Amino acid sequence: MKAVTGMTESEKYESFMKRIEDGDKIEMDDWMPDEYRTVLIKLISMHGISEIMGALPEKEWVPKAPGLGRKLGIMAKVQDEMGHGQLLLRVTEDLMKPLGRNRADIMDDLFEERLKFHNVFHMRTHTWADAGLIGWLVDGAAIITQTNMLGASYGPYARALKRICAEEVFHAQHGESIIMALAEGCTEQREMLQDAIDRWWPSLLMFFGPESKDTTGSSKQDATIKYQIRTKTNEELRQSFLSKYVPRIHSLGLTIPDDTLRFDQETKIWEYRQPDWKKFKQIIGNEGPKSQDRLNLRRAAYKNNAWVREALEA
């Protein structure tokens, strides 16, 4: 911890910003501007709760996974995601402690819909191909956004991300293996896979968030870049995703439901049809196809198990 006593607020702020610029890591007991703490709490609690809510769509496929190996694979993945949630909520809890808030408040924020989770986890899963696609492309997208924050100025988050990213690589491989089996399979399997891509494509584009706050009215990317929590913008991340996955999708003989999609050789930029950002706002506002069902599942489980938590405290 750096000595900050005897400094004025603005001196503290300047020394804090200098530390960040020097690549120093901020730790949980260090002095930090309120805005920094607020931005971190918002970002990390949303990340953590998304891991936990994200376990639900895949959980739906755990019993149905075709084959013992597939059952084991998806069980391991869901367990990892819950583990990521746990790790991130602990980082959030430490940040919240000075504000007198704890885990129960995080859960309450989720249930009262003050805390949002990622757009992809509001969607319905229809077939086994969706379970594969989530691993391959949603985890693939998550790897891109999370590696972008590996150098985050907040030490505890950067360290958690390092562990999480290592596991996400296995998730993407798990997803890819399911996808490959379907792509190399019979007609029914290939159709199932194409259908999944057609349905998930807009959600995958939305995953990275709007290009700027002009699109949806708010975006936390400016503050996170200012405080060196992340480096690239939403659009830059989406471009990386397209560069990485469009060729792979095509190489499996699959199509992408966007006839305007093209790579401009001169500007080196992918052109694509914008997803419906109005819909995006609705989805993350818990008005997506499965938002309320999944929230209710969580709410009901929490209530149903209240006696256990009380018994543990007795």
Partner 1 sequence: MEKTESGKFEGLTETDQAYLADLLKQLADDDYLLSFRSSEWLGLAPHIEEDVASASISQDMMGHAAMYYGLLGDIYGRDADDLAHFRGPADRRNSILTEKRNGEGEYLDVPKYDWAYHVVRNLYYNMHKKVKLVALKQSSSTPLRDVAAKAAMELYYHELHWRTWFIQLMNSSDDAKARMAAALEKVNGECADLFHLGKYSEDITRKGYIAPASEMKDSFRKEMEKVFDQTDSVFSFPDDQKENGRLGRHTEDLEHALELMSEVYGSVPYAKW
Specify the residue, 98 or 185, whose C-beta has the smaller distance to partner 1. 185
> Would you count residue 176 as binding Fe ion (CB under 5 A)?
no
Taking the CB of residue 305, how many other CB atoms lie within 10 A of it? Answer: 11
Give dist(CA 155, CA 25) in Å, integer: 5
Specify the residue, 76 or 223, whose C-beta has the smaller distance to partner 1. 76
Q: Residue 270 corresponds to which tokens in the numbers above?
A: 């992918």
Stretch binding partner 1 (CB under 8 A), from 9-17, 50-58, 110-118, 213-221: 50-58
Stretch binding Fe ion (CB under 5 A), from 13-21, 33-41, 133-141, 267-275: 133-141
Specify the residue, 139 or 176, whose C-beta has the smaller distance to Fe ion. 139
Look at residues 102, 132, 145, 138 and name the one whose alpha carbon lies nearest to residue 120: 138
278 φψ region: left (φ > 0), alpha (ψ -120 to 50), beta (else): alpha
Q: Site for partner 1 (CB under 8 A): which residue of 16, 20, 45, 70?
A: 70
> Would you count residue 55 as binding partner 1 (CB under 8 A)?
yes
Q: Residue 302 corresponds to which tokens in the numbers above?
A: 């929490």
Dihedral angle, C-alpha 153, 150, 225, 88, nearest 10 °: -80
Give dist(CA 61, CA 106) in Å, integer: 27
Stretch binding partner 1 (CB under 8 A), from 14-22, 77-85, 115-123, 266-274: 77-85
Residue 107's H or E segment, with its range, is helix 103-111
Query: Chain-centre distance of CA 181, in angstroms?
Result: 26
Look at residues 80, 78, 109, 85 and name the one whose alpha carbon lies nearest to residue 96: 109
Specify the residue, 144 or 192, whose C-beta has the smaller distance to partner 1. 192
> If you ran DSSP here, which 8-state letter would residue 253 be given?
T
Q: Site for partner 1 (CB under 8 A): which residue of 1, 3, 166, 312?
A: 312
Report the partner that residue 133 touches, choosing among Fe ion, partner 1, none (CB closer than 5 to 8 A by kind). none
Q: Site for partner 1 (CB under 8 A): which residue of 72, 99, 169, 225?
A: 72
Residues making contact with Fe ion (CB under 5 A): 51, 81, 84, 139, 168, 171
Residues making contact with partner 1 (CB under 8 A): 52, 55-56, 59-72, 75-76, 78-79, 82-83, 85-86, 89, 128, 178, 181-182, 184-186, 188-189, 296-298, 300-301, 304-305, 307-312, 314
